[in-house]
A and B are shown apart, each in its own frame.
Chain A
Amino acid sequence: MTTTRNDARTTVEVDQVVRRFGDRTVIDGLDLTISGSEFVVLLGPSGCGKSTLLRLLAGLDRPDGGTVEVPTQRAIVFQGDRLLPWQKVWRNVTIGLDRAGAKERALDVLAEVGLADRANAWPKTLSGGEAQRVALARALVTEPDLVLLDEPFSALDAITRLHMHDLVQRLHQRHGAAMLLVTHDVAEAIALADRILVMNDGRIASSYDVGLSAEDRRSSQAREDLRGDLLADLGLAGRH
């Protein structure tokens, strides 16, 4: 079912959504609104249903109750890179493009993620970070209004991850898409988010607006307080 509410400010509207596997209710009456080009980061313990929620938003699964309203132009970056091994890098990027000039467009976006010179490589020759950047380019090439990222950097080392944070922020500013990023990493959440959501028991348990400057995100008392709150919400207080 597609409806158009014509509310330019609301990008995602999730209302009392339910998702069950057998008799286990993984998502239980969850509400979520994302407006404009907000950057939302979703935290939560393993197995709490973050990927399940993302799949609902991507339209890969249907809810068992409630409604999910998302832009038609949306893209998902999976946890693994999911590149087609039998297609060169740039062909992987154009998988969702059918207009003319797809190749030029793909090369442009590959240049944006710093991989212009790898456009003709086979995926098997890419490093883990390069492959993730190709997956990012593939998501951005269709100029989506919503980008869903499911732990896209969890397999990367700390330095590469910082580079990827910069990259994602730049891309977010340039493309102006709303982003919903799932992570386990509290530092990553603070570095990137306009708003941080903590998921628990199949619902959004708490929500924090991060009104910090780039400087304050790196080190400030406000950052430490936020970090403490998040760790407490995740049940990790006093463990760090």
Chain B
Amino acid sequence: MTAVLEAPVTAPGVERAVTRELFVPVAVSPSVVRRAAGRLRWPLGIYTTPAVLAVLWQVASKVGWLSANLAPAPTVILHAGWELYQRGELVPSVETSLGRAGVGLAIGLVIGVNAGIVGGLLRSGEYLFNGVFQILHTIPLLAILPLMIVWFGIGELNKVLLIAFGAAVPMYLNLFAAIRGVDHRLVEMARSAGAGRLRLIRRVLLPGALPGFLVGLRFSLGYSVLGLVAAELVNADQGIGFLINRAQTYQQTDQVFFGLMIYAVLGLTADQIVRVLERVLLAWRPSYEAS
């Protein structure tokens, strides 16, 4: 093993050009100007872009580029919402829809979480549940809606069950994968340190599966809103979907838009809830923070 290291040949008297970097402390309290600039750049955080789009939309409507029949101005949409509120229709509708989503979500999460834990921890649990959930996973949520109506009628039950279905499947799949994916070296460590089965589950497997659980929760919340919209739009005599359908019948585009906006707010709220949970529950995790 004889490596011949040749020194780089540099002509005498010729300076080698070296590019360098200089690092200085990041200012702890940035100047007022910089802070203001930061605020100016993203004054509403992640909602800056939607807000800017809304403003552009408003301008386009006022200038007349957008026909009021196709896309009424944001202020008009909000006004339609205000009218619904004053007629006493908005609050009961939102309550009905939230109730459906809440009940369906609760049922779906209970099923998904329990099946996911049993399937993740036990080989027999895996054999029991995995096949079923994998098959269900391949069936699109919207495709089973007609079947739900045939089976459970057009009442509340089909809506709640559709939402529960949408929530349970992603929760099961993510939780199962997360438990099975816990670093086996940590499992081995806990076993060899003398932790019993219960402690292994409580201290290693379940906390280790938490990131995957939160991914599952994000999907579950998203699909439950999707299920809510689908079920309500196909048939409903109350709720947000009913408002939208009725508005469509009478060509009240502003109310249609307002209904969609409520769905959007529901989806965003769900996402924010998961974000907060992630910040609280995953404080231990070293993760990438974008600049």
By a beta-carbon cutoff of 8 Å, the part of chain A in contact with chain B is 58-60, 75-76, 78, 80, 82, 84-87, 91, 95-98, 122-124, 138-139, 142
Contacts and interface: CB of A to CB of B under 8 A. Distances in A.
A139 B192 CA distance: 10
Interface in B191-225: 191-196, 199, 203-204, 207-208, 210
Given A75-B192, A75-B193, 5 more contacts: A82-B186, A84-B208, A138-B193, A142-B193, A142-B194
Nearest to B283: A122
B185 interface: yes
A122 B192 contact: no
Nearest to A58: B192
Contacts of A58: 192
B192 A76 contact: yes
A84 B194 contact: no
In the A-B complex, the 7 residue pairs with the closest CB atoms:
A96-B193, A96-B194, A82-B189, A86-B207, A124-B286, A86-B284, A122-B284
Contacts of B188: 60
A84 B286 contact: no
Interface of B: 185-186, 188-196, 199, 203-204, 207-208, 210, 283-286
A124 B286 CA distance: 7
Taking each of A95, A97, A122, A124, which has the highest tally of chain B beta carbons within 10 Å of its own beta carbon?
Answer: A95
A82 B188 CA distance: 9
Contacts of A82: 185-186, 189
B180 to A, nearest CB: 17
Contacts of B191: 60
B203 A84 contact: yes
Contacts, number: 56
Most buried by B among A78, A85, A124, A138: A85
Contacts of A78: 185, 189
B193 to A, nearest CB: 4
A80 B186 CA distance: 10
Nearest to B183: A82
Nearest to B206: A86
Given A86-B207, A86-B284, A124-B284, A60 B192 contact: yes
22 contacts: A60-B188, A60-B192, A75-B192, A78-B189, A80-B185, A82-B189, A84-B190, A85-B284, A85-B286, A86-B207, A86-B210, A86-B284, A86-B285, A95-B189, A95-B190, A95-B195, A95-B199, A96-B190, A96-B195, A98-B199, A124-B286, A139-B193
Contact of B203 (A85, A87, A139): A87
Contacts of A97: 194
A103 B195 CA distance: 15
B74 to A, nearest CB: 44
Contacts of A123: 284
A86 B205 CA distance: 11
B279 to A, nearest CB: 14
Contact of A91 (B185, B193, B196, B203): B203
A96 B190 CA distance: 7
A59 B203 contact: no
A86 B284 CA distance: 5
Contacts of B185: 78, 80, 82
A123 to B, nearest CB: 7
A123 B283 CA distance: 11
A75 B185 CA distance: 15
Nearest to A148: B192
A98 B202 CA distance: 13
